[in-house]
Amino acid sequence: MSGAKNAVLPILAATLLSDEPSVIENAPQVSDVALMCDILRELGAKVIQAGEEITVHPDGCRGTRAPYELVSRMRASICVLGPLLAKQHRAEVSMPGGCVIGPRPIDLHVKGLQCLGASYAIEHGYMVWQAPRLAGARVHLGGAYGSSVLATDNVLMAAALAEGITTIEHAACEPEVVDLADCLSAMGARITGQGTPVIHVEGVRQLHGVRYRIISDRIEAGTLLIAAAMVGGDVTLEGARADHLEALIDKLAEASVRVEQTPGALRVRATQPTQAADITTLPFPGFPTDLQAQMMALMSISRGVSVLTEKVYPERFMHISELNRMGAHITREGASAIVKGVSHLSGAPVTAPDLRASAALVLAGMAAESQTEVSGLEHLDRGYQHLDHQLRLLGARIHRTHRKE
């Protein structure tokens, strides 16, 4: 499996907390990672990419501005805020705005960093932050839709160099947050409680460089598990971790798809028609919002009626209309989608509106009769490393064309 995109982005930002070089291994070769490397270069770091290994030399990093033209392309770029405040005591980060899956406010980032002693003003579309001194504090990060992964990341990184002890309450428990905390610990940070709703950070004076290997991407693994369920077969995914995918595995079992844990891998066997299953997305360890679209594609050809409720991003349903163009029977009611399973999907030209929807449409095309053409693959390239190649290994008849503009 590829390295986790959602883990490597904040870990790359965390390399700015040291003056020594760091080497990040198992970094996925996706466009979001390339963009984060560009942001680090813009801030003055020297970044060398060699396949799945990225070396960051932060000693020349004196910049404090993450420019709009880069930040506007990737929301996760806001995770440079915590390291810049901790190391440079100043940060100028463009307001990230919303996206096609709905507004994604940064109020918890603001709350958390203000608790540590930072302050900001809005100037010409930028949040200009100042932090002459960061001090440990009790920070509560509960929000309207649960905990925030990136806000937890930002507070965690800032607290690593703050004076005193920081306690993050209602912290995100996602494996990617644990990976960041483990990387920071390897750099010399003092962190306990990662993977639980309460994280304790004892600030240190400095961090050192590190060689660190990123965890496997659970969303990529989940996408491939769902792909196998949609087309049937017996597939083993090397490097996939059951402890990162328990909610998905439980729902696949409910849909009559068997997933077994083997040493260092997951094996999925889909030998009978899939059944409807009701799903509600929630922060980890709940069902991942990043697998909702893919699971909707599976439910569209499963027997019975499914209800998929989105509790993380209630507007994340742009893929419904495209799946319906392929013959699915899906209606939306508020933050829920009602999916009536059909016997088959029909190939059609479709357009991907966002990252995970692009994967869902590719999976739907695999299971559909006749040919499906999916455009908008710039979204797919943000988070999947050669998904077409992986699906061909599973037996899919799929090829990618590159059209000249």
- H/E/C letters for each residue in the chain? CCECHHHHHHHHHHHHHECCCEEEECCCCCHHHHHHHHHHHHCCCEEEEECCEEEEEHHHCCCCEECHHHHCCCHHHHHHHHHHHHHHCEEEEECCCCCCCCCCCCHHHHHHHHHCCCEEEEECCEEEEECCCCECCEEECCECCECCHHHHHHHHHHHHCCECEEEEECCCCCHHHHHHHHHHHHCCCEEECCCCCEEEEECCCCECCCEEECCECHHHHHHHHHHHHHHCEEEEEECCCHHHCHHHHHHHHHCCCEEEEECCEEEEEECCCCECCCEEECCCCCECHHHHHHHHHHHCCCECEEEEEECCCCCCCCHHHHHHHCCCEEEEECCEEEEECCCCCECCEEECCCHHHHHHHHHHHHHCECCCEEECHHHHHHHCCCHHHHHHHCCCCCCCCCCCC
Q: Which of 14-18, 100-104, 282-286 has the lowest mean pLDDT?
A: 100-104
Give the rounded distance of the alpha carbon of 93 from its chain centre: 20
Crossing angle of helices 81-88 and 5-14, in 10° steps, is 10
Q: Tell me the pLDDT band of 146, cut-offs 50, 70 and 90.
A: confident
Q: Which residues pair with 192 in a beta bridge?
A: 200
User: At residue 75, does pLDDT exceed 90?
Assistant: no
Q: Tell me the pLDDT band of 232, cut-offs 50, 70 and 90.
A: confident
The confidence score (pLDDT) of residue 100 equals 53
Residue with more model confidence, 402 or 298: 298
Q: Which of 4-8, 162-166, 384-388 has the lowest mean pLDDT?
A: 384-388
Q: Which of 37, 61, 79, 99 is catalytic?
A: 99
Share of the chain above pLDDT 90, in %: 82
**For tokens 């996760």, what's the residue?**
76
The one-letter code for the residue type at 233 is G
Share of the chain above pLDDT 70, in %: 97
User: At residue 102, does pLDDT exceed 60?
Assistant: no
Torsion of CA 137, 143, 149, 154, to 10 degrees: -40
> How many residues are listed for the chain in this entry?
405
User: At residue 105, does pLDDT exceed 80?
Assistant: no
Start-to-end CA distance of the chain, whole Å, equals: 32
204-228 average pLDDT score: 97
Q: Which of 62-66, 240-244, 401-405 has the lowest mean pLDDT?
A: 401-405
User: At residue 395, does pLDDT exceed 90?
Assistant: no
Residue with more model confidence, 394 or 400: 400
What are the chain's domains? 5-213 (3.65.10.10), 218-393 (3.65.10.10)
The confidence score (pLDDT) of residue 404 equals 40
CA angle 15, 9, 126 (to 5 degrees): 90
Phi, psi of 160 (to 5 degrees): -60, -30
User: At residue 96, does pLDDT exceed 80?
Assistant: no
pLDDT, tens digit, 9 for 90 and up, residues 323-339: 999 999 999 999 999 99
Nearest to 18 by CA among 129, 136, 157: 157
Q: What tokens were used for 331?
A: 């209606």
Active-site residue, 99 included: yes
The confidence score (pLDDT) of residue 199 equals 98
pLDDT, tens digit, 9 for 90 and up, residues 191-203: 999 999 999 999 9
Q: What tokens were used for 65?
A: 């501005």
Distance CA 239, CA 242 (A): 10
The confidence score (pLDDT) of residue 98 equals 42
The confidence score (pLDDT) of residue 73 equals 82
HSE, side-chain direction, 13 A CA sphere, residue 117: 18
The confidence score (pLDDT) of residue 106 equals 86
Buried b (16+ CB within 10 A) or exposed e, 116-125: bbbebeeeee
User: At residue 104, does pLDDT exceed 80?
Assistant: no
Average per-residue pLDDT for the chain: 93
